[in-house]
């Protein structure tokens, strides 16, 4: 005979397992459907589009794409962390992110030149 305690334990276990297996609903502040606002977000969106376009054109290989996507995501995470601080995004922090994006742009241009392509550099000055 099955006791009520066993039934409750099975139901709780199944409900917990179901909740754990649900996907997270996290997202970046920039998603393809959202409008791009501000110079940093414009540069991030431009770099992301350029990165994917260079991969489709064969200017970078899959390993470079994954490495550079990881690096761009890290810059985005640092930007989000700076925005969430108590003082928000200061001009100094914005200049630091712009500098990191410019360094990323230089690395992407170099990777494309090594593989036979050329890209135009778009710099953000602050």
Q: Is residue 114 part of a domain?
A: yes
Let me know if residue 60 belongs to a domain: yes
Considering the domain boundaries, does residue 45 fall inside one?
Answer: yes
Position 42 in a domain: yes
Give burial (CB, 10 Å; 0-12/13-18/19+) of 88.
Answer: exposed
Q: pLDDT over 70 for what percent of the chain?
A: 74
Are the CB atoms for 39 and 91 separated by under 8 Å?
no
Residue 26 inside a domain? The answer is: no
Q: What is the mean pLDDT of residues 14-39?
A: 64
Containing domain of residue 126, as a range? Answer: 37-126
Domain count, the chain: 1
Q: Is the predicted pLDDT of residue 5 greater than 50, yes or no?
A: yes
Can you give the pLDDT at residue 32? 56
Reported as a pLDDT band with limits 50, 70 and 90, residue 12 is: confident
Q: Is residue 32 part of a domain?
A: no
For residue 119, name the pLDDT band (cuts at 50, 70, 90).
very low
Number of H helices, E strands in the chain: 4, 0
Phi, psi of 105 (to 5 degrees): -60, -40
pTM over 0.85: no
Instruction: Specify if 21 maps to a domain.
Output: no
Q: Between residues 121 and 11, which one has the greater pLDDT?
A: 11
CA dihedral 22→27→31→36, nearest 10 degrees, is 160
- Residue 125 inside a domain? The answer is yes
């Amino acid at each position: 005979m099955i006791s009520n305690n066993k039934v409750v334990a099975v139901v709780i276990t199944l409900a917990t397992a179901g909740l754990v297996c649900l996907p997270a609903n996290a997202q970046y502040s920039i998603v393809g459907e959202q409008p791009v606002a501000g110079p940093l977000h414009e540069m991030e969106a431009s770099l992301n589009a350029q990165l994917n376009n260079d991969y489709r054109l064969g200017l970078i290989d899959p390993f470079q794409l994954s490495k550079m996507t990881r690096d761009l995501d890290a810059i985005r995470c640092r930007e989000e962390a700076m925005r969430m601080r108590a003082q928000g995004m200061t001009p100094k922090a914005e200049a630091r992110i712009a500098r990191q994006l410019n360094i990323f742009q230089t690395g992407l241009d170099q990777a494309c030149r090594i593989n036979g392509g050329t890209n135009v550099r778009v710099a953000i000055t602050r």
